[in-house]
Amino acid sequence: MTTKKAVLLTGKAKRVSTTDDPELLWVEYLDQATALNGKRKEAIAGKGKLNLQISALLFAELKAAGIPTHFVSAPDDDSMIVKRAQMLPLEVVLRNYASGHFETKFHVEHMRPFTPAIHEYYFKSDALDDPFINNDQILALGITDADTLATVRHLTDRVNELLTARFAGIGITLVDFKLEFGTLADGSLVLADELSPDNFRLVDKDTGASLDKDVFRKHEGDLQPVYAEVLRRLQASK
C-alpha cells in the first residue's frame, strides 16, 4: 500500500505530497474555491471530496477508453494517487460552444456552436497572469515540441468526444473545458491535473442552469449541491 510522505507543494485547490514510491504522488483535493486566477478565494465544505470523486470516476473511465492518464487510484475520500509527471506549463482549453471569455472577447451570441471545436492554449505563469499563447509561440519558446503538441491536440479531441457523450447521457451539455498534460519518466504524454466542474463548463440540457464553477464565479448560489448533483448523475449512470 502506498503511504503519504512530505508535502511537495500546495496549490489553489490541491496539496501534493511525495509517497514511499518515487514514481507516485499523493494529491489531496482541498475545500477551496478560487476565481480570478486566485485573487478571490473561499472555503467550501465538501468541495474537495466531490471534486475528487468526480475526477477519479472520469479519469478511470477515460483510462478504460484508452486515454493515457496520470491516475492510479483513489485511496480515500479526498485523495488521489497519481504517477509523477513533468507538467507542460499549458492550460489547454477546448470550446464546443461560445461562453465565458470567448463570448466576452469576441461579442458573439452565448452558446453559438463550434464545429470543429476550438482549441486554445494559455501559458501557465502566475507572474504573467496565464497569457494566451499560440502554437508558433509555444514552439519558439521551447515549451514543447511539434509532435507533443500534435498529440495534445489529438488527445484533447478524443477526451472531448468521450466526455461530450458521457455528459449528454446524463442530460448535460459540455460547453467547454480546460485540460493539463504532463510527461512521465519514460517520456510518454499523459492527461493529468483534475477533471471536475472546476475546469468544465456544464449546462443542464433541460433547465439551462450552470452545473459548474460559474455558480461560484457569478455568485449564483451554493456550489456544493451543484457539484453533488453532477456526481449523483454520473454515479447513477455508470
Long-range pairs for 181-184 at CB < 8 Å and ≥24 separation?
Answer: 181/87, 181/88, 181/90, 181/92, 181/152, 181/155, 182/70, 182/85, 182/86, 182/87, 182/88, 183/85, 183/86, 183/88, 183/148, 184/70, 184/83, 184/84, 184/85
Find the shortest distance in angstroms from Cβ 187 to ligand 5GP: 27
What would the x/- binding string for ligand 5GP be over residues 99 to 138, using CB under 6 A? -xxx------------------------------------
The span from the CA of 55 to the CA of 85, in Å, is 17
19 versus 59: smaller Cβ distance to ligand 5GP: 59
Find the shortest distance in angstroms from Cβ 147 to ligand 5GP: 25
94 versus 231: smaller Cβ distance to ligand 5GP: 94
5 versus 110: smaller Cβ distance to ligand 5GP: 110
- 202: cell is 456544464
Kindly state whether residue 75 participates in binding ligand 5GP, applying the rule CB under 6 A.
Answer: no
Kindly state whether residue 47 participates in binding ligand 5GP, applying the rule CB under 6 A.
Answer: no
Find the shortest distance in angstroms from Cβ 22 to ligand 5GP: 28
With beta carbons less than 8 A apart as the criterion, state whether 211 and 230 touch: yes
DSSP symbol at 222 = -
94 versus 190: smaller Cβ distance to ligand 5GP: 94
Considering only residues 92, 176, 180, 190, which one is a binding residue for ligand 5GP as defined by CB under 6 A?
Answer: 176
Task: Tell me which residues touch ligand 5GP (CB under 6 A).
Answer: 91, 93, 100-102, 176-178, 198-201, 213
